[in-house]
Amino acid sequence: MLMAYDVVIVGGGPAGLTAGIYSARRKLSVLLLERGLVGGQLQVAHEIGNWPGMKSVNGMELASSMEEHARSVGVEFLLDEVVDMDLKGQVKKVKTREKTLECRAVILATGGQHRKLNVKGEEAFIGKGVSYCATCDGPFFKGKAIAVVGGGNGAVEEALYMGEVASKVTLIHGGSALSAEELIQDKLRKKKIPVLLDTTVEEILGKGFVGKIVVSTRGKRGEIPVEGVFISVGQVPSIQAARKAGVELDGRGFIKVGRDMKTSISGVYAAGDVTGSIPQVAIAAGSGALAALEAYKHVKSLS
């Protein structure tokens, strides 16, 4: 089935949703493609405290509000996965598992996937004590001792959330200082959650289920008994389809864009975490808005 639009947006996180809202308000026909949950990483954010105008908002609630806003201005949604893209001509083709879409501009807002530690035992215990989402799996660890690995906002927020669920939480970070915002670190101190700095996880052990982790602190090895390990060490950009279509990447593997969010291919834009920007909702939304405005100029130039 062939479907034609002015703009096709690949990715339904805050960048993609904002791009959709801005595009539709400019009276462009817009389809937003999402292979998972609309909202992206918002869906697993327990609390967001830096979204302008809201002192605190649950990630799922913000995602739902953004989706409702996008639908209200005419954005169409399709839950499907992109398998191929032909982006070279004036008419772009985006192929999913079920449809072929034609459009005049594409906005790539594909975000990323959870980065793994790549340590022994990690793969073996996924779903058996190893998790990458506290708000998804946290309730299974009620009353248990767990470790959270990471030092950014996401890791600290996961530790705070698990502090309300688990019997004991230990935050482990390989650096000499946490990189999370100071206000979030203040909450961590108030909760008296222990933090191990200059510490790396070397191995995850257990019998059928996680039982302990081997750590190294400044070269000194030790063991910590835990029944769960929550890993929050950033993301790997989802660029497979873009790379296959010839979109240029930067030296870190993210989609290369200019200040106007243009990629190396005319009529193709990128926004949000997939560009290697700071992973914040406000920044993703801002880049999505800019990408949409530039896409609008491009579409109108072809009229």
- Which residues form the catalytic set? 133, 136-137
- Answer for the pair 177, 197: CB distance below 8 angstroms, yes or no: yes
Q: Return the residue matching tokens 């990128």.
A: 270
What three-state secondary structure class fits 29?
coil
Q: Return the residue matching tokens 């493609």.
A: 33
Can you name the residues that pair with 95 across neighbouring β-strands?
84, 100
* Residues in CB range of 259: below 8 A, 6 or more apart: none
Q: How far apart are CA 115 and CA 218, in angstroms?
A: 23
Tally of CB atoms within 10 A around 150:
26
DSSP string, 123-137: TTTBTTTEES-HHHH
DSSP string, 258-271: -TT-B-SSTTEEE-
Q: How far apart are CA 290 and CA 46, in angstroms?
A: 27
Tokens read off for 249: 């990447």
Alpha helices in 13-81 (DSSP H): 14-25, 59-72
- Answer for the pair 49, 282: CB distance below 8 angstroms, yes or no: no
Tokens read off for 63: 């995602």
* Residues in CB range of 89: below 8 A, 6 or more apart: none
